[in-house]
Amino acid sequence: MTEATVIGGSGYTGGELLRLIVGHPQLELGQVTSRSKERRTVTSVHPNLRGATDARFVHPDDLEDTDLLFTATPHGYTMEEMPRLRDHADTVVDLSGDFRLDDPAGYDEWYDEHPNPGMLDEAVYGVPELYRDEIRDASLIAAAGCNATASILALHPLVESGIVDDEDDVVLDVKASSSAGGASANTASHHAERSRVVRPYAPTSHRHQAEIEQETGLDVNMTVHAIEMVRGIAATAHALVEGVEEKELWKAYRGAYGDEPFVRVAKSRRGVYRYPEPKVVEGTNYCDVGFEVSDDRVVAFSAVDNMMKGSAGMAVQSANIALGYDEGAGLGFNGMHPV
């Protein structure tokens, strides 16, 4: 068994990691950290885990050596602490944005100056559909952002097939759920303000644009809305390209994802859910992708659960690859219908 420790275990993605670890056939839970909930039981914060663990939160300064370390902390923590954290574990999977960008200048532009820029080269971007071979040898994995995961997986087949390139105009519209903002409340997340909104909160740019442009090579024009959903990301990409036929798109998407265990092409003529829909993938590690085409435009869709394929699920998928386990170990849930 591999011992897995979670830093930031009282947060939303931390809680999802705990759910996956306690259900994983090869992982056993090590420490779970929280400064504000130190000594409290994990189930007092994550009631869904009642009966599955009797662990209590410990302070992150009391971190002990472990096999696999997941860090589910806000941006800025691992950027500073990663050298120390890596001394405690053979494999680290970071869910924050602190090691996703290759170029330190990207941190100056989108985040803060990076205190450990030399370590950026050592981190593998944790999207298995793009970097499976690199993840196999990785000791530091930077799980992708939730909006970025949905957007990259929607666009990747278009780029790989050459249907869309960096000369084309791409507009990316992302709808994000409330859990994507984490467990800390603010005025905008207060129920009275958040309920029933369709609120543009990043109208002309978003930090995840940096990862999306890095991984697709495209120049994307991105807008993000906060919407009425607890879990889920829906991404819609519009590329203004002429003369593309539907059969080319089928070839591109089947070619990219035909053998992928966690990406499904969702496009059909009949049924209620003819295209990707976040509630269909809720609780699962799937990214559903779909597309449509007209004379002068290709539209690509995708849906993920931000706390699964958009963070904790993909982090476990990457850890499974790095540790040589079955890629889908602990990730078998197919979702529910109706929800």
Ligand X SMILES: NC(=O)c1ccc[n+]([C@@H]2O[C@H](COP(=O)([O-])OP(=O)(O)OC[C@H]3O[C@@H](n4cnc5c(N)ncnc54)[C@H](OP(=O)(O)O)[C@@H]3O)[C@@H](O)[C@H]2O)c1
Q: Which residues bind ligand X (CB under 6 A)?
A: 7-14, 34-37, 60, 72-75, 77, 95-97, 145-146, 179-180, 182-184, 306-307, 310-311
Q: Are strands 233-239 and 263-265 parallel, antiparallel or unpaired?
A: unpaired
Q: Which is nearer to ligand X, 42 or 280 (by Cβ)? A: 42
Please say whether the beta carbons of 16 and 41 come within 8 A.
no
Q: Is 13 annotated as a binding residue?
A: yes
Q: Nearest approach, Cβ of 238 to ligand X (angstroms)?
A: 24
- Reported as half-sphere exposure (CB side, CA atoms, 13 A), residue 253 has a value of 25
Catalytic residue among 146, 153, 163, 210: 146
Asked about 146 being catalytic, the answer comes back as yes
Q: Is 285 within any annotated ligand binding site? A: no
Residue 10 counted as an annotated binding residue? yes
Q: How far is the CB of 11 from ligand X (least distance, A)?
A: 2
Tokens read off for 167: 């000369």
145 vs 276, beta carbon nearer ligand X: 145
Short-list 280, 258, 276, 252, CA closest to 266 = 276
Q: 262: which 2 tokens?
A: 């966690």
- Min dist. Cβ of residue 165 to ligand X (A): 28
Judge whether 10 and 72 are in contact, CB under 8 Å.
Answer: no
Return the structure tokens found at 62.
């009391």
| Rounded-to-10 torsion of CA 78, 81, 84, 90 | 0
Q: Which two tokens stand for residue 164?
A: 């869309």
Is 306 flagged in the annotation as binding?
A: yes
Nearer to ligand X, 76 or 261 (CB): 76
Nearer to ligand X, 36 or 48 (CB): 36
DSSP tag of 309 = I
Tokens coding 126? 């944790």
C-beta neighbour count of 317 within 10 angstroms: 30
The answer to whether the annotation marks 11 as part of a ligand binding site is yes
Distance, CA of 23 to chain centre: 20
User: Cβ contacts of residue 273 below 8 Å, gap of 6+?
Assistant: 266, 280
Length of the chain in terms of residues written: 339
Check if the beta carbon of residue 74 is closer than 8 Å to that of residue 110. no
The least CB distance from residue 143 to ligand X, in Å, is: 7
Closer residue to ligand X (CB): 186 or 334: 186
- To ligand X, the closest distance from the beta carbon of 247 in angstroms equals 35
List the one residue out of 98, 100, 102 whose CA is nearest residue 112.
98
Cite the annotated binding site by residue number: 10-13, 306
Catalytic residues: 146
Known binding-site residues for NADP(+) equal 10-13, 306
